[in-house]
């Protein structure tokens, strides 16, 4: 192997730049050429690529976002789009690609390598949702939960000052990992996640108990994919039956995607980037690099995209006990 490509795809996540830096530096260390592909699969189709050198990834490890930028490509979903991408890969002499992204990125890689098995693809899990099988932590998750925690801490200050009940919505359309850990870390009275049906009566009982015990304020953390429609809808229902508190809603939104990656984020992303290049050099293909129990793990794409990590119900019980 003489030349590899690398791109970031799907939703951006803090730590992607750290992973990219590790890919480039590891490849150069082993005498490989590296091609940076802008805007993910769309960049492959449009031939938006450039040769990367060590100084191209200098001073980026601390940056959020991705210097290669990201995009979603409808054209890549078609055989014609994938053919354009393959032709450009051949044009540049790229033999293997490190794809940094999430579920959609790996589904695209599966479709592509099924048609063009001569191109090796290895993935690094870049998504704040932490919902992929094959790794304990995805790139972006640790930073996202710390961002959410800090925001909820700030909200709690004003909630205490005014005896308010706050519903705080965090990201998590299909997975409640951000909500769960940020909720536990901030002492939330309740955490509502997509994986479990919300019981509005149980939530009311929990809030009533807090009121009776004379809590100054209450915080309920809601994942955006909660089955009742998110924080605004739940707050409206609670307001009809629970009028003791002034009720407010805060939606954290995309602040969870940005910001400087945490120390552990940079460390894990660097581990994964290095391992991805090593896997390509060893001849591996169609696998995702992860970290399980502190060790590098390799999971086939078809397993990583078919299964998702499950919420541990004991952690939800922990919320109830500690609230």
Task: Give backbone dihedrals phi and psi of 179, rounded to 5 degrees, phi first.
Answer: -60, -45
Highest mean pLDDT among 64-73, 125-134, 223-232, 261-270: 261-270
- Give me 282's structure tokens: 């060893």
- Confirm whether 3-140+261-306 and 142-257 share one CATH topology: yes
First to last CA, the chain: 55
Burial class (CB in 10 A: 0-12, 13-18, 19+), 202: exposed
Q: What is the DSSP letter of 238?
A: H
What is the number of residues in the chain?
A: 323
Strands (E), 159-294: 164-170, 190-192, 218-223, 246-251, 287-292
Q: How far is CA 8 from the centre of its chain?
A: 12
Task: Give backbone dihedrals phi and psi of 220, rounded to 5 degrees, phi first.
Answer: -120, 125
How sure is the predictor about 226, in pLDDT bands with cuts at 50, 70 and 90?
confident
Class of domain 142-257: alpha beta
Q: Does the pLDDT value for residue 211 go beyond 60?
A: no
Task: Give backbone dihedrals phi and psi of 63, rounded to 5 degrees, phi first.
Answer: -90, 140
DSSP line for 176-210: -HHHHHHHHHTT-SEEE-TTS---HHHHHHHHHHH
Question: What is the pLDDT at residue 283?
Answer: 95
Buried b (16+ CB within 10 A) or exposed e, 11-30: bbbbbbbbbbbbbbbbbbee
- pTM, whole model, 2 decimals? 0.91
**Averaged over 66-77, what is the pLDDT?**
92
Catalytic position from the list 12, 48, 129, 142: 129
Burial class (CB in 10 A: 0-12, 13-18, 19+), 294: exposed
* Count of CA atoms in the C-beta half-sphere (13 A) of 64: 21
Question: What is the pLDDT at residue 112?
Answer: 96
* Count of CA atoms in the C-beta half-sphere (13 A) of 11: 23
Question: What is the pLDDT at residue 229?
Answer: 83
Q: Does the pLDDT value for residue 15 go beyond 70?
A: yes
Instruction: For residue range 168-202, list pLDDT tens digits in order.
Output: 999 988 888 999 999 999 999 899 998 888 888 88
Tell me how far CA of residue 18 lies from CA of 62, 64, 122, 260, 271, in angstroms: 7, 9, 17, 11, 9
Is 129 in the active site? yes
Report the CATH fold assignment for 3-140+261-306. Rossmann fold (3.40.50)
Would you call 130 helix, strand, or coil by DSSP? coil
Boundaries of every domain in the chain: 3-140+261-306, 142-257
Question: What is the pLDDT at residue 213?
Answer: 57
Distance between CA atoms of 18 and 273, rounded to whole angstroms? 8
Instruction: For residue range 47-61, list pLDDT tens digits in order.
Output: 999 999 999 999 999
Element (H, E) at 97: strand 96-101
How sure is the predictor about 5, in pLDDT bands with cuts at 50, 70 and 90?
very high
């Amino acid at each position: 192997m003489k030349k590899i490509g690398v791109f970031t795809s799907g939703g951006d996540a803090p730590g992607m730049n750290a992973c990219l830096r590790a890919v480039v530096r590891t490849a150069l260390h082993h005498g490989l050429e590296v091609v940076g592909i802008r805007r993910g699969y769309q960049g492959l189709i449009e031939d938006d690529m450039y040769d990367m050198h060590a100084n191209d990834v200098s001073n980026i490890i601390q940056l959020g976002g991705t210097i290669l930028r990201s995009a979603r490509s409808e054209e890549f979903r078609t055989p014609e789009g994938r053919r354009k991408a393959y032709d450009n890969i051949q044009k540049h002499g790229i033999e293997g690609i490190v794809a940094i992204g999430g579920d959609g990125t790996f589904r695209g890689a599966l479709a592509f390598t099924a048609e063009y098995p001569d191109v090796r693809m290895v993935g690094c899990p870049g998504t704040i949702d932490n919902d992929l099988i094959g790794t304990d932590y995805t790139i972006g998750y640790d930073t996202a939960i710390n961002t959410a925690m800090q925001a909820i801490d700030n909200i709690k200050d004003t909630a205490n000052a005014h005896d308010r009940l706050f519903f705080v919505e965090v990201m998590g359309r299909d997975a409640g990992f951000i909500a769960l850990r940020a909720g536990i870390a901030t002492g939330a009275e309740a955490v509502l996640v997509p994986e479990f049906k919300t019981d509005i009566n149980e939530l009311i009982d929990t809030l009533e108990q807090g009121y009776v015990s004379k809590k100054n304020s209450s915080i309920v953390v809601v994942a955006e994919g909660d089955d009742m429609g998110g924080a605004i809808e739940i707050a409206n229902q609670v307001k009809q039956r629970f009028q003791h508190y002034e009720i407010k809603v805060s939606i954290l939104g995309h602040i969870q995607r940005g910001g400087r990656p945490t120390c552990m984020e940079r460390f894990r992303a660097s581990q994964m980037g290095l391992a991805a290049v090593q896997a390509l050099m060893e001849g591996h293909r169609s696998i995702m690099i992860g970290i399980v129990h502190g060790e590098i793990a390799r999971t086939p794409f078809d397993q990583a995209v078919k299964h998702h990590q499950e919420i541990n119900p004991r952690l939800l019980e922990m919320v109830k006990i500690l609230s």
